[in-house]
Amino acid sequence: MLSISPSAMKKIILILTLSLAITACGQQPDQTKNADGTATLSQGPPTSKGEGLMANADCKTCHKPDVKLVGPSFKDIANKYTLDDTIKLAGKVMNGGSGSWGDVPMIGHPGISEADAKEMVKFILSQK
């Protein structure tokens, strides 16, 4: 009988989760609206620079407007942080991070500039 330690099982789950996220990165992002009607990757022209940037990024692979997926929903992020946290959150977008929302780390996006990451964060924080 095969026996797997709890720490090995956590590593397996983490690897599978990250593999799923990486595999899904090539998919087109969903274009939806929040339940309250606020714009979130709308089907029309972007309402902000941040929304436009996110429409071409892989954010929606792990995040949804108002439902937890692999990572927290945009609404949950907006409710936890303020615009004062923009620089910190932009750093997480570019470099990745872990621990704020559980054990699954967010992969970094080093190809996104700091200015673009800030615009994306501002859009996310507007999703309350």
Pull the structure tokens for residue 9. Answer: 């099982």
Domain count, the chain: 1
In a domain, 58, yes or no: yes
Residue 65 predicted with pLDDT over 90? yes
Which CATH number do you get for residue 74?
Answer: 1.10.760.10
In a domain, 92, yes or no: yes
In a domain, 90, yes or no: yes
CA dist 3 and 23 (Å) reads 28
In angstroms, what CA-CA distances link 23 with 4, 112, 126? 26, 19, 29
In a domain, 1, yes or no: no
Q: Report which of residues 45 and 66 the model is more confident about.
A: 66
pTM summary value:
0.67
Q: pLDDT tens-digit profile of 17-33?
A: 555 455 444 443 444 44
Residues of the domain holding 58? 6-125
Output the pLDDT for position 85: 97
